[in-house]
Amino acid sequence: MLIGRRRLRLTETERDAMRAAGRFNAQLMDFLRQNIGLGVTTAEIDQLVFDYTLSHGHKPAPLNYQGFPKSCCTSVNDVICHGIPGPYRLKDGDIVNVDVTTIVDGWFGDQSETFLIGKVSKAARRVTQCSFECLWAAIDNLRPGSPVSAIGEAIVRHARKYNYSVVEEYVGHGVGRAFHQKPNVPHVPNAQSRRDRLEPGICFTIEPMINTGSRLTVLDERDGWTVTTKDGGLSAQFEHTVLMTEKGPEVLTLTQHGPQKGHRF
């Protein structure tokens, strides 16, 4: 997904609007977690997202975004990101990342979680745990004015403890009145992320994609969206929308019933 040119440093009023968007998106995720399990199709998850979002007067941001055909992304097992919901029925041992973004009064709340379906393998549980910990390691590594690279540095450092790889081609991003905007938020530090700074008022996502094997990816040319691991290994991801304030990072998409910092899967 393309990153727009616009970069925002939000006023207090705008920050409150982003908080409202994040709060509803977290509410949507808590609603979904009650309905994700064995035998559920990814299309059914997508329909729940569509119906719940519209019934509350909001819009699912992914629907028709740059041609994406559904209201959320559902990425199962070796699918890293941008999985298109369809007839696939979740099976015992699967892991599925559900990525939801909502437009609330013109502002975008964005997050994802990886769900364990039934009795999963040790590798599936471990890569899910690693991705979740990488997200929080990155958040905890931030201060007002931190370089964006502080995110990738923390993620790479933590993933190495598990001997897992970090996807480089797909990144977090600034978010506000646009779905994807500056700054880019790579999960592996690069020259640009060392220059970019997270000043108070900047809102962005952190969404590390962690693979059990190679970091290399493959884009499905048939649908133009689905990204899988090149070696067929498992991939897990967690995402939050974060606002940098004068006091430090504020997570805008915390759920009431989902995994909190320190959770063990």
> pLDDT in tens for each of the 265 residues of the chain?
333 445 479 999 999 999 999 999 999 999 999 999 999 999 999 999 999 999 999 999 999 999 999 999 999 999 999 999 999 999 999 999 999 999 999 999 999 999 999 999 999 999 999 999 999 999 999 999 999 999 999 999 999 999 999 999 999 999 999 999 999 999 999 999 999 999 999 999 999 999 999 999 999 999 999 999 999 999 999 999 999 999 999 999 999 999 999 999 9
- How far apart (Å, rounded) are the C-alpha atoms in residues 157 and 150? 11
- For the chain, the structural domain boundaries read 12-251
Superfamily of domain 12-251: Creatinase/methionine aminopeptidase superfamily (3.90.230.10)
Q: What is the pLDDT of residue 8?
A: 77
Could you give phi then psi for residue 98, rounded to 5 degrees? -115, 120
- How far apart (Å, rounded) are the C-alpha atoms in residues 53 and 104? 10
Q: What is the pLDDT of residue 1?
A: 36
Q: What is the pLDDT of residue 4?
A: 41
Residue closest to 229 by CA, chosen among 220, 238, 221: 220
Q: What is the pLDDT of residue 5?
A: 44
Q: Provide CB contacts within 8 A for 218, sequence distance 6+.
A: 227, 228, 229, 230
Residue closest to 253 by CA, chosen among 130, 118, 98, 42: 98
Place of tokens 């952190």: 206
Q: What is the pLDDT of residue 2?
A: 37
Q: What is the pLDDT of residue 133?
A: 98
> What is the chain's Cα-based Rg?
17
Residue closest to 61 by CA, chosen among 24, 107, 115, 29: 107
